[in-house]
Amino acid sequence: MTKLAFPQLAIGTLFRPKLQNMSVQPTMIALVAEGFLTRLGFGMIGFALPLYALSLGTSIAKIGLLYVLSTIVSLAMKPAMGWLADRVGRKRILVGAVLLRCLVGLLLVFATLPWQLFAIRGLQGAMTAAREPSIMALLAEHGSKKRMASAFAWYATARDLGRSLGYGAAGLLITYLGFWWVFLLAFACSCAALFTVLRYVEERKTAEPKEIMKHARLFTEEKPAAGIRPRLFRYAGFGLLVTLTAEMMRGLFPVVATQYAHLSEADAGIAASAASIAILIGGPLFGWFADRGNRNLVLSLRSFANAGSCVLYMLFPNFTGFLAGRTLDDMGKAAFRPAWGSMLVEISEHDEKTRAQTMAILDTTSDVGEILGPILAGLLISAFGIPGMLAVRIVLALVTEAQAYMLFRKIE
């Protein structure tokens, strides 16, 4: 019972009725707490880093490259890290990843040159590559199979809520105290997340070979083996297109808000932070609907949100427009991530001993989108300006939605 004390007091008291729906365990609550704390710190960094790089004389095109550098490193390392997590232990790899996250926050306190930002961003990519497969595998192990999307929804909600609150805190800190305090507080949040993982996260033993074969037979009986591989590639391509379109705006939101809508850093941070309301409501709601309703519909909502938010940014280049657009953007993400995680768990169930590796390989498609999105956005802004970039994003979102319609119709 003592192991329940910290995370249950921190989260369980507020969300006890809803947490019961995702089969609460100490590790599940601790993972939710870790997601909130780490994203709170790195939400602050994610908002501050483009503006800090801009203050050091970095061009917008290079800022786009800076934003995706961590994803490039993560893409290269994630499959190997998934393999390592399956063999060394998922908790051990997670602890190492959070340690790296603490180091990233500390190094940013002393970074004063553009090349240092690129080096630190690369280190962050290594951390993400180690962290994501372990987190997904641990959620799959401890979550209820019948409510897997809800388990991912609660984790994603805590993480995105932390990120949005971090954006708001960063905007205020930059305005009144400076960048140094942003990076210092991000370091402190990562240290708190490290304590949570060390103290409360536990790892289950993988299933015995007989049990694995049972899962394999059930998986192939429900979905014919001949259809598994085409289905996997179709979903991977859809995930790539959705993430590419989404990340075109997310990585450069502070720059677009300050340069195009002429918002202050504080106003831009508040607009991003206020989206946490949409995440808090939308995440669990869409997770519940994906478990009990149409998961394919939930997956496709991301494209509608991408297009609609751009329309708001273009028609209303002010605080209200950017607040509404960012809220819609984050609502779409709140819908997509739990359903995507549920799909990865379903596919990886055929072999529990290689679950982290399988999920890591599949999830790299979203990493490719995260790489290409900001690069494409930066090039479009340089060539056609911010309105041109937003118009292209709308077109890509509509193309993605048409592709999703054809994909889901074939699979169903």
| Rounded Cα–Cα distance for residues 117 and 52 (Å) | 9
Task: Summarize pLDDT for 288-317 with one digit per residue, the tens.
Answer: 777 776 677 777 777 888 889 899 999 999
219 found inside a domain:
yes
4 found inside a domain:
no
Higher pLDDT, 113 or 405: 113
Would you say residue 47 has pLDDT above 50? yes
Q: What percent of the chain has pLDDT over 70?
A: 75
Total number of domains constituting the chain: 1
pTM recorded for the entire structure: 0.62
Average pLDDT, the chain: 76
Whole-number pLDDT of residue 207? 43
Domain span holding position 104? 14-411
Name which of 406, 405, 381 is nearest 391 in CA terms.
381
Task: Summarize pLDDT for 348-393 with one digit per residue, the tens.
Answer: 666 566 666 666 666 777 778 777 888 888 888 888 888 999 999 9
8 found inside a domain:
no
Task: Summarize pLDDT for 301-357 with one digit per residue, the tens.
Answer: 778 888 898 999 999 999 999 999 988 888 887 777 777 777 777 666 665 666 666
1 found inside a domain:
no
402 found inside a domain:
yes
CATH number at residue 110: 1.20.1250.20
404-411 own/partner pairs: CB under 8 Å, 24+ apart: 404/238, 404/242, 404/296, 404/299, 404/300, 404/303, 405/300, 407/234, 407/235, 407/238, 408/296, 408/300, 410/234, 411/231, 411/234, 411/296
9 found inside a domain:
no
Task: Summarize pLDDT for 100-151 with one digit per residue, the tens.
Answer: 888 888 898 888 888 889 999 888 888 888 888 788 778 777 666 666 667 7
Phi, psi of 364 (to 5 degrees): -65, -20
